């Protein structure tokens, strides 16, 4: 069988990255200049390879069970400026340039529910666009 | 049995947070002022509650199978300034004030392995202190 993989089997990455039993690794996306943490998602080996080769963030959607090319339906893509593996190889940090918003609710960041000391929740940011503007009238569920 | 829980069962947090089947939630720790992403770790319900009540980061160590009060052996504690849950409740962002370094290698951040387009790895930051200075001569494994 032809090996269509763009990265060599011997690449240092494959020896260093530690996927879960499900073949996934958690990925934190951070806006490269503002430092804002935008979202956390998952990649499998194929998504990780596509991200490195194309320079655009591609995740694995656990709910849809398929590759999730960030922005494929909303246009809100992430250009990848750096990809860093942590000390024990089980988490990735992506430094990205986010077009528009990262969150499916229309907010810049997914982390908008601030939890207070007694467990109360306050929403600390507002949507910049409506989900309808991002995904059309039929809407969109979380990937 | 006396309920020793500091947070009410009815707290909004418990309705919103979605633990994995193992009872854990991934937590990103970010330095509040510089924006640097320091590390990713996990909390169970008890660790999350302790973090909220004490204002100091407490994780669940999967390798040790016990609560991991960050800095308990190294002194490198994390004061928690904010705790935010993401849009679908399955990831937490902690804004912290990190004393010293977050990484057990003596680096400020755990994300020091930069992965290039062909999968090569370059170490992009150096330790600020030695692991021996942090943990003594017997050393320390990743929590």
Pairing of strands B92-98, B25-31: parallel
Which of B13-17, B38-42, B73-77 shows the lowest mean pLDDT across its residues?
B73-77
Task: Report pLDDT digits (tens) over A24-70.
Answer: 999 999 999 999 999 999 999 999 999 999 999 999 999 999 999 99
Above 90 in pLDDT, residue A137?
no
- DSSP letter at A66? E
The predicted pLDDT at position B5 comes to 66
Task: Report pLDDT digits (tens) over B91-142.
Answer: 999 999 999 999 999 999 999 999 999 999 999 999 999 988 988 876 666 7
- DSSP letter at B137? T
Residue A108 lies in a domain: no
Tokens found for residue B14? 């418990």
Residue A120 lies in a domain: no
Averaged over A112-141, what is the pLDDT?
90
Task: Report pLDDT digits (tens) over B38-47.
Answer: 999 999 999 9
Task: Report pLDDT digits (tens) over A78-99.
Answer: 999 999 999 999 999 999 999 9
Strands (E) across B74-127 are located at 78-85, 92-98, 113-115, 121-123
User: Is A88 marked as binding a ligand?
Assistant: yes
Confidence of residue A6 (pLDDT cuts 50, 70, 90): confident
Task: Report pLDDT digits (tens) over B79-90.
Answer: 999 999 999 999
Above 70 in pLDDT, residue A1?
no
Task: Report pLDDT digits (tens) over B26-36.
Answer: 999 999 999 99
Above 60 in pLDDT, residue B3?
no
Tally of domains within chain A: 1
**How large is the ipTM?**
0.94
The predicted pLDDT at position B6 comes to 78
Closest CA to A88 of B79, B83, B63: B63
Residue A125 lies in a domain: no
Residue A68 lies in a domain: yes
d(CA A112, CA A107): 8
The predicted pLDDT at position B19 comes to 98
- Residue % of chain A over a pLDDT of 70: 93
User: Is A87 marked as binding a ligand?
Assistant: yes
Judged by CB atoms within 8 Å, which residues 22-61 of B form the interface with A? 26, 28, 30, 34-37, 39-40, 52-53, 55
Residue A142 lies in a domain: no
Q: Which residues on adjacent β-strands are paired with residue A59?
A: A68
- Asked if B114 lies within 8 A of A82 by C-beta distance, the reply is yes
Residue range(s) defining the domain that contains residue B78: 5-102
Residue A119 CB contacts under 8 Å (≥ 6 apart), including other chains: B7, B8, B11, B12, B13, B14, B52
- Asked if A121 lies within 8 A of B34 by C-beta distance, the reply is no
The predicted pLDDT at position B93 comes to 98
CATH code, domain carrying B97: 3.10.20.810
The sign one gets for the Cα dihedral A16, B116, B30, A43 is: negative
The pTM score is 0.94
């Amino acid at each position: 069988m032809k090996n269509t993989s763009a990265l060599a089997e011997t690449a240092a990455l494959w020896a260093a990255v530690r996927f879960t039993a499900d073949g996934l690794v958690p990925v934190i996306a951070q806006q490269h200049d503002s430092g804002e943490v935008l979202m956390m998602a998952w990649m499998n080996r194929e998504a990780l390879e596509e991200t490195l080769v194309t320079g655009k963030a591609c995740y694995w959607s656990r709910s849809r069970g398929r590759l999730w090319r960030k922005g494929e339906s909303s246009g809100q893509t992430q250009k990848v400026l750096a990809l860093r593996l942590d000390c024990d190889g089980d988490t990735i940090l992506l430094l990205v340039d986010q077009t528009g918003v990262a969150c499916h609710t229309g907010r810049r960041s997914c982390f908008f529910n601030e939890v207070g000391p007694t467990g109360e929740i306050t929403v600390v940011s507002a949507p910049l666009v409506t989900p309808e503007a991002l995904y059309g009238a039929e809407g969109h569920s979380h990937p």
